[in-house]
Amino acid sequence: MVQYIRTGFDASFAALSDATRRGVLEQLGRTDASITDLAQKFHMTLTGMKKHVGVLEQAGLVATEKVGRVRTCKLGVRRLEEEAAWIERYRQLWDARFDELDEVVEELKRKENVDGRKKRE
């Protein structure tokens, strides 16, 4: 499945291009954290961290939930996995179709060989 995740997820790549954001993902891999926690850990302002988390959220890599006055962040890879799974199912449909098409192509080639002269008229 990895090969499908690798392709096409522009937003994810943009999100992962930044060292702080990669650090945030690593951190959230260990445990959920609030934006305030993350800002402190990465020595950033709250506003700066909010922006980073926003980018990660947009890419579907992080999910946030506000409880009271605290916004908690956690890894949110679900969307990526769903998309990869969908693409794989879609690929299987086309693969099955194209296997049948292979047979049609073989059949047409056989016919062309048999009555090739007629066809070229």
Q: Which residues bind another protein (CB under 8 A)?
A: 1-2, 4, 7-10, 82-83, 86-106, 108-109, 112
Q: Is residue 56 a contact partner of residue 35, using CB atoms and an 8 Å limit?
A: no
For another protein, the closer of residues 70 and 108 by Cβ is 108
> CB of 5: closest distance to another protein in angstroms?
10
**Which residue, 41 or 112, has its beta carbon nearer to another protein?**
112
**Least Å from the CB of residue 37 to another protein:** 31
CA distance 82 to 60: 11
**Distance of alpha carbon 26 from alpha carbon 70, whole angstroms:** 21
The tokens for 26 are: 């690593």
Q: Which residues pair with 72 in a beta bridge?
A: 34, 65
Question: Three-state DSSP class for 26?
Answer: helix
Cβ proximity to another protein: between 41 and 91 the closer is: 91
Query: Minimum distance from CB of 71 to another protein (Å)?
Result: 24
Cβ proximity to another protein: between 65 and 106 the closer is 106
